[in-house]
Amino acid sequence: MNTEELTKLITEYGKDIYNFCLHLAMSRTEADELYQDVFLTAINKIDEGGNPKSFLMGTAMRLWRNKRRKEAWRLRIAPKEELAEESEFPPHITPEGEYLKKEERQSVLKAINSLKEPLRQTVILYYSSELTVEETAEIMGVPTGTVKSRLYKARKILKQLLEADING
């Protein structure tokens, strides 16, 4: 892959891939690193005939899983103390409508982040990345029926969580 092809990929899919990385990592620093790793991997391995967006998202998911697996092993060998981490998204002073919109978004993100990993990844791929069930299944390496059942289960759980949040 040459520089022009890479630039075209980044231009067409960069924003979607970065948002997906941000959803997976839940930290701008880690998302930046994952985003770079995805495109570095794509330079050598992208299939010209396939769906580049699916390939890039699948690569992001595999790299993220591998990183989490490695971190888990490292923590088993040499545990470290957790440091209190401040939010990377500073609060903004906005009009009331923007504030309510932000609060709603945070509630939804909090609910999504509380889902177990397979459900969370399925929801992020399908809704945030706007992929089809088939594309989501291809990226996750599972049958389409599994994606459909995970989406059903996730929607059910999210409904309960958000209703509980609204009702106090």
Q: What is the pLDDT along the chain (168 residues), one digit of tens a residue?
A: 778 888 888 999 999 999 888 888 888 999 999 999 999 888 878 766 678 888 898 889 889 888 888 887 776 665 655 444 444 444 545 577 677 777 888 888 888 889 998 999 898 888 877 788 998 999 899 999 999 999 999 999 998 988 887 776
Residues of the chain with CATH 1.10.10.10: 94-168
CATH topology of domain 94-168: Arc Repressor Mutant, subunit A (1.10.10)
Residues of the chain with CATH 1.10.1740: 1-90
What 3-state DSSP class applies to 141? Answer: coil
d(CA 35, CA 67): 13
Distance of CA 47 to the CA centre of its chain: 22
Length of the chain equals: 168
Q: Thinking of the domain 1-90, which architecture would CATH place it in?
A: Orthogonal Bundle (1.10)
What pTM does this model have? 0.59
pLDDT of residue 93: 52
- Give Rg (Cα) of the chain: 18
